[in-house]
Amino acid sequence: MHDLPMVSVIIPMRNEGPHLGVCVDSVLAQDYPAERLEIIVVDGDSDDDSLAVLRQYGQQLRVLRNPARIVPTAMNIGIRAARGEIIARVDAHTTLAPDYIRVGVETLRRTGADNVGGPMDAVGGSRWANAIAYAMSSRFGIGSHFHFASDDCEVDTVYMGMYPRRVFERIGLFDEELVRNQDDELNYRLRKAGGRIFLTTKMRSRYQNRQRLCSLAQQFFQYGLWKIRVLQKHPRQMSLRHFVPPLFIAALVVSAAAGIWIAAAWWLFGAAVAAYVVAVAVASAKQARRHGWELFVPLALAFATMHVSCGVGFLLGAVRFGRRWFVAELPPPQLRAACLSGQSARRLSGADGEQGAASRTSLD
């Protein structure tokens, strides 16, 4: 048991009262030795009952404050304060299988990978939420492999992820500018530096997805908006699938505008809309046949919401961040050597270190 590495589970969150307890309970229920596991919750100044939920756990976890209120800064605060040799990100909307951490450690050792993770098993809870979950688990909905993975393989990115701490010393921490897509950007830097990312279907977790189309639209709009900054920082990170939604929206806008002067442009507009409606209908029918035909219309609207919101966000991001094409990019935050050199001493002494003490949120 003494040869098992210390694992630091970092939960970045803000206003997650309804989901937080279930998430933390699933971490505490891991079959990994409790003395080799620490839980760090990084709170973005929640104004709901999240802190009241956390108080119930007492000394079973540490709570740090994240005044910036976004995920990348939360992760960086947690990583700097962590005592573990392995860093595991766990989102507050997620429930882990009891063997999730153990399987992750075993997979890191077996494969020699620099990041491991499992598929995202999205769950709903209502008719519309179920439709959103099935749409997100479809190749037509989202192209990332972890949304529909059925086999173990090397991938470009994984859901959440477990990293040896040395990875952050090598490539830097999360880019704190990126409100969304910060994990994709980090994993691209990892692969560019020669690292390997491995997905195993044995790392099981359940993700509570958005419940309504309006919140789904906001989520995917932000994905599209911030994808522009990833494109500007790392053009080679992009693949063809990233450009399909914005190109579709741009084609509709251009053909509709041109139709004011050129009548034939409306034919192009109509053909694009018709082709998309057919594609959505086919994808929705495929999912509805498996999960119930009463979901056909919600599935179609969920697909359209994801694609249109992402496409519009991408195009508006191109306008919002247009000047950044001509500005040199800053390097990501670094994990200073001093943080690493004190790691063993902190683990042996059980002290939190200056970073954790300075960032801790009082629950008293």
Number of domains in the chain: 2
Closest CA to 316 of 305, 328, 306, 308: 308
Instruction: Check whether residue 23 and residue 144 sit in a common domain.
Output: yes
Res 346: pLDDT:
38
The answer to whether 312 and 320 are in contact (CB under 8 A) is: no
Res 347: pLDDT:
37
- Token pair listed for 60: 């079973």
pLDDT per residue over 159-188, tens digit each? 999 999 999 999 999 999 999 999 999 999
Q: Which domain covers residue 49, as residue numbers?
A: 8-211+329-355
Q: Which helix (H) or strand (E) holds 208?
A: strand 205-208
Global pTM value: 0.88
Res 337: pLDDT:
56
Instruction: Check whether residue 60 and residue 42 sit in a common domain.
Output: yes
Res 238: pLDDT:
84
pLDDT per residue over 213-229, tens digit each? 999 999 999 999 999 99
Instruction: Check whether residue 40 and residue 170 sit in a common domain.
Output: yes
Res 354: pLDDT:
36
Would you say residue 219 lies in a domain? no
Instruction: Check whether residue 249 and residue 185 sit in a common domain.
Output: no
Q: How far is CA 248 from CA 62, 185, 268, 309, 322, in A?
A: 46, 24, 12, 12, 20
Alpha carbon 52 to its chain centroid, in Å, reads 25
225 burial type by CB count under 10 A (0-12 exposed, 13-18 middle, 19+ buried): buried
Instruction: Check whether residue 198 and residue 49 sit in a common domain.
Output: yes
Which residues of the chain are under the pLDDT cut of 70? 1-2, 143, 146-147, 337-364
Would you say residue 146 lies in a domain? yes
Instruction: Check whether residue 252 and residue 183 sit in a common domain.
Output: no
Instruction: Check whether residue 123 and residue 43 sit in a common domain.
Output: yes
Instruction: Check whether residue 29 and residue 108 sit in a common domain.
Output: yes
Would you say residue 218 lies in a domain? no
The residue whose two tokens read 């189309």 is 213
Instruction: Check whether residue 119 and residue 237 sit in a common domain.
Output: no
What CATH number does the domain containing 14 carry?
A: 3.90.550.10
Q: At 334, which amino acid appears?
A: Q
Q: Backbone phi, then psi, for 353, in 5-degree steps?
A: 90, 165
